A = this chain, B = another copy of it.
Amino acid sequence: MIKDQKIPDATIERVALYLRPLEDLIKLGVHVISSDRLAEMCKVNPAQVRKDLSYFGGFGVRGVGYNIHDLIFEIKKILASDREWKLGIAGLDDMGMALLQHKNFFKRGYKFVAAFDSDPKKIGQRLPIGLTIQPIRKIKPMAQDLGIEIGVITTSPLQAQVVADMFFDAGIKAILNFSPIHIRRPDCCLVQNVDFSVTLDQLAYRLSKEV
C-alpha cells in the first residue's frame, strides 16, 4: 500500500473501468486474473494496473494474481459504489427519459428517486419506473425528504444553471450535467459534465491526424 498519497484522478477513472471486464469474467466462472491479462483487456500497461490497485492496498498474491471476487469488492469499496446512491433528475425529454428507463444504473446502485420538469404538460405524468414527474419547486422539499445525493441535469442548456442552483440550494452536493454548459458551483459541491459533442470533436481531431 502506497501510504498517504494523493490518488490520481486518472487512477480512479481506470479503476472504475476495470470493473466491467472483471464482472464479465466472474460470470464466465473465472476466479483469478493477472495484471497482464487485465491490462490487455483494458488496453493499459500492466504496471499501471498494479500501481493503480496498489494505491488502495496489496490485494494481489505474488506468483498467482488477483482474486477477481475480492478485487471487485475492493474496487467498489474504493469507489464508494458498494452502496446505493439516490438520484434526482430534472428535464424529462428524450435524454432524461432514456436515462431514467435505463436498467444498468439501477443494477449498479444508482437509483432515481425523483423526476422534475417545468413543463405543465409533463408534470403529473406517471413514469414506467413508478415515479411521477414533479414541478421543479418540489426539488427542495423532495430532495430533503428522499435524501437525494446526486442531481442529474437533462434540461435545455438555458435552464441548466437555474436547475443546478435549485439542486445546490436543496443541499445536493453533486451534479451530473448533460447539458452543454459550464455549471457554476459553490466550492463545496461537485459537478461532472458529460458532453458528447466534445467527445465527437476529439474523434474528429484524431481522425484528421491519421495518415
Which residues of A are interface residues toward B (Cβ below 8 A)? 9, 12-13, 16-17, 19-21, 41-43, 78-81, 85, 94-95, 97-99, 101-102, 104-105, 108, 110, 149-150, 173-174, 176, 180-182, 188, 190, 192, 194-208, 210
With contacts A81-B204, A190-B207 known, is A101 near B94, CB below 8 A?
A: yes
Report how far A207 CA is from B198 CA in the complex, Å: 25
Which residues of chain B come closer than 8 Å to A12, judged between CB atoms? 201-202, 205
Please tell me if the beta carbons of B97 and A197 are within 8 angstroms of each other in the complex: no
Please tell me if the beta carbons of B20 and A200 are within 8 angstroms of each other in the complex: no
Please tell me if the beta carbons of B102 and A94 are within 8 angstroms of each other in the complex: yes
With contacts A150-B200, A198-B13, A200-B85 known, is A207 near B80, CB below 8 A?
A: yes
Which residues of chain B come closer than 8 Å to A98, judged between CB atoms? 94-95, 97-98
